[in-house]
Homo-oligomer: A and B are copies of this chain.
């Protein structure tokens, strides 16, 4: 699965250095992820299953400024029974790369309070 979405930079995302704050990059990843899930897997969003971030990392290449356009490409890696990794490229759509990132996600069933298998149809889309 390869998908891309665009994020809108807000003035409030900037810190006192005048660039998008390093923690906000993870908010951008989440925003991209949730948009993707809402658009592609609305039934999973309503199933009650949660996809928890158990590990996250980001390598910052270039600062993001207020007027930059921010695109996020997402691809899947390490698809396992109940977990998978999303790999992200944050860029401006014109060859400028702001950051590379990854999040390891686990499928969690809050009703039974335990990790659970990925729904089969969800796994199939991720695997493409």
Contacts and interface: CB of A to CB of B under 8 A. Distances in A.
Interface string A3-20: 000011011101111100
In terms of DSSP, what is the predominant structure of the interface of chain A? Answer: mixed
A54 B50 contact: no
A128 interface: no
A122 interface: no
Contacts of A18: 16
Counting every copy of the chain, the complex holds: 4
Interface residues of A, number: 32
B50 A55 contact: no
Contacts of A57: 55-58
A52 B58 CA distance: 13
B31 A10 contact: yes
Contacts of A26: 22-23, 26
5 contacts: A12-B15, A12-B21, A16-B16, A23-B26, A52-B60
Given A8-B8, A8-B31, A56-B60, 14 more contacts: A10-B30, A11-B15, A11-B34, A12-B21, A15-B16, A16-B18, A26-B26, A38-B66, A38-B67, A52-B60, A54-B59, A55-B58, A56-B57, A56-B58
